[in-house]
Amino acid sequence: MSRALPATLKTLGLSLALIPSAYSVAEPSRIQIEGDSAIFDQASKTVTYAGSVTATQGDLVIEGERLIVALVADEVDTIRTTGSPAKFSMPQLSEDTNVAQRGKLQASALTILFAPASNQLQLLGNAVLQQGSNVIRSDEIIYNVNAKEISAKGDSKRVRMEFELADQAPGEKIGTPERP
């Protein structure tokens, strides 16, 4: 038996794990992906899904028309999803109570790159990131889920952010500073 065969079987086993049963539920430590078709390319170590693709990891959900999983050392390195738009959602936990806050973190873009190991989300093209009534729009948004840090830049459009002010009473107006 050649030395390449065990590595091939291990890679094939990993790729088969990425082609889940329609009846299983994603666990937080596992990524489940479904689509109309899937192609494993052993040479490039990618699995390409097409047609109404949905990827889940616990409560995290990514949806799009096409999804490519890149493998490094037989582990999921990145998940690249495209759509019109591709979508991402996950509940946000309050730091104090470990309870879901008032709504999910929702994102959409023409292309979404997600790196599960670093929990980093990159939104490219008509990017929108929203939690509750707080919204960020830009050409590119990078969100570090663990650090809760957002970076946004605009190539053809300016970055636009809309935030809800928590301490403001309904109907209360915020004054503008006086000019000298």
Is the pLDDT at 97 greater than 60, yes or no?
no
Burial tier of 25 (Cβ tally within 10 Å: 0-12, 13-18, 19+) = exposed
Q: Which pLDDT score, from 0 to 100, does residue 145 have?
A: 83
Average pLDDT of span 74-92 = 92
Beta carbons within 10 angstroms of residue 86's beta carbon: 25
Rounded to an integer, what distance in angstroms lies between the CA atom of residue 140 and that of residue 160?
Answer: 11
Q: Which pLDDT score, from 0 to 100, does residue 12 have?
A: 37
The three-class DSSP label of residue 119 is coil
Rounded to an integer, what distance in angstroms lies between the CA atom of residue 59 and that of residue 122?
Answer: 18
According to DSSP, the β-strands at 120-131 and 134-144 are antiparallel
- Which domains does the chain possess? 4-162 (2.60.450.10)
